[in-house]
Amino acid sequence: MKRTLLTAALLAATAAYAQPKPPPAWHQGKPPALADSKLAPLAGRNTETPASEIPIDKVKLPKGFTAEIWSTGHPGGRAMARGDSGKIYLGTRGLGRVYEVSDAGGKRSVRVVVDKLTQPSGVAMKGGSLYVMAIDKVLRYDGIENNPNVQPVDLTAKFNLPPEQHHNWKYIAFGPDGKLYVPFGAPCNICEPAKEYAQIRRYNADGSGMEVIATGVRNTQGFTWHPKTGDLWFTDHGRDWMGDKGPEDELNRMPKSGLNFGYPYCHAKGVLDADFRKADGCKGVTLPVASMGPHTAVMGVIFYTGSMFPKEYRNTMLIARKGSWNRTVKIGFDVVNVRPAADGKSAKMTPFMTGFLEDPKEAKFWGRPAYLLQMPDGSVLVSDEQLGAIYRVSYSKK
């Protein structure tokens, strides 16, 4: 009897072991013609990188601009939020941490606020409280700048978070209306998502009053509001596995709530999907203001409103493009300046901060710009997720 049970257990274990593992989520949507493709997401470093190992001298900027290393020691740091005292909070995706960076006399120190969350990319400050949003949790740290050991208020139940993880790491921000804006990406590369996904929502700060304000949004990782019109502008990642040329990532403008931005049937400036076909798939879709390049992983966006940079930068956008993986020859790995037309219907994109990508064909790079934060003096901080560093970009007439 014992031998029979043992044999059955061994057979079950062998059968379980023999079951093929499901492919990773980023394989989804790969056509048979690309079955042998070696393209894959680029691995993050996720370890501390000393300032001495960061080749900041390779950064290229327009004349008069300078880049310097502002802080290090926060591996995987992405989105940034600044408190009233000047402390900077950074979310992460892969490491499950949120960092606090303090500036004392020009020297920065780093501590971990919380660890072991599920992709807590989203951080925002409001009224002295730090909001942290992971895939399955929402935490609020009241008065954290003056009380580093404050225990969080758990708001998770009020936000009704859907469970899927893919593309549901968050960028969050409070809008001019005082509401918290939150994206819920498509839980796939390409699919017809359930009604809880591929959208942007807004909530009251306590999680009540949820509204869906945009649909057809595959994966926005950055948004902001025009300083004069108040319109919401956001970046969006195009789908993978439709070739090197696209669909291109997007820069979208949302002058009113309730617009549909096309996913999964319509991409970029009217490109119909190869797998999910629909008659008149782009009918009624709000097309992007600008194409941001194929597979560039366009991330954080700010409107520059400071007085340090030359006047021609005022009310124009700085946008980080973390860099492509689903493309034979890599592009992105930079920050671009985007200048929208007065009517908001077109925009001109030019390079701003480059030098991170050293060999596009061999995917050789040393940094991946992810998010931007304008400082009170008009300088701009740029987070580098790859090296866990923040760079400060300033301008001075020479």
Residues 36 and 154: their CA atoms lie apart, in Å, by 45
The pLDDT tens digits for 67-78 are 999 999 999 999
CATH code where residue 346 lies: 2.120.10.30
Beta pairing partners, 211: 202
Asked if the structure places residue 78 within a domain, the reply is yes
* Long-range CB contacts (within 8 A, 24+) of 63-68: 63/398, 64/310, 64/395, 64/396, 64/397, 64/398, 65/309, 65/393, 65/394, 65/395, 66/393, 66/394, 66/395, 66/396, 67/353, 67/382, 67/391, 67/392, 67/393, 68/391, 68/392, 68/394
In a domain, 137, yes or no: yes
Predicted pLDDT of residue 106: 81
In a domain, 36, yes or no: no
Position 181 scores a pLDDT of 98
Token representation of residue 236 = 């969006």
What are 377's two structure tokens?
A: 């003096």
pLDDT at residue 8, rounded to an integer: 54
Examine residue 18 and state whether it is found in any structural domain, yes or no: no
Q: Which domain holds residue 360?
A: 55-395
Cβ proximity of 144 and 126 under 8 Å: no
173 assigned to some structural domain: yes
Query: What local confidence, expressed as pLDDT, does residue 27 receive?
Result: 87
262: in domain: yes
pLDDT for residue 33: 87
What is the total count of domains within the chain? 1
- pTM of the full predicted structure? 0.93
pLDDT at position 271: 96
Taking 50 as the pLDDT cut, the residues of the chain under it are none
Question: pLDDT per residue over 115-162, tens digit each?
Answer: 999 999 999 999 999 999 999 999 999 999 999 999 999 999 999 999
Q: Is 281 among the domain residues?
A: yes
Give the integer Cα–Cα distance in Å for 384 and 110: 15
Could you tell me if residue 299 is inside a domain?
A: yes
| CA 315 centroid distance within chain | 21
C-alpha–C-alpha distance, residues 236 and 219, integer Å: 5
- Residue 342 is predicted with a pLDDT of 82
CA distance 19 to 27: 18
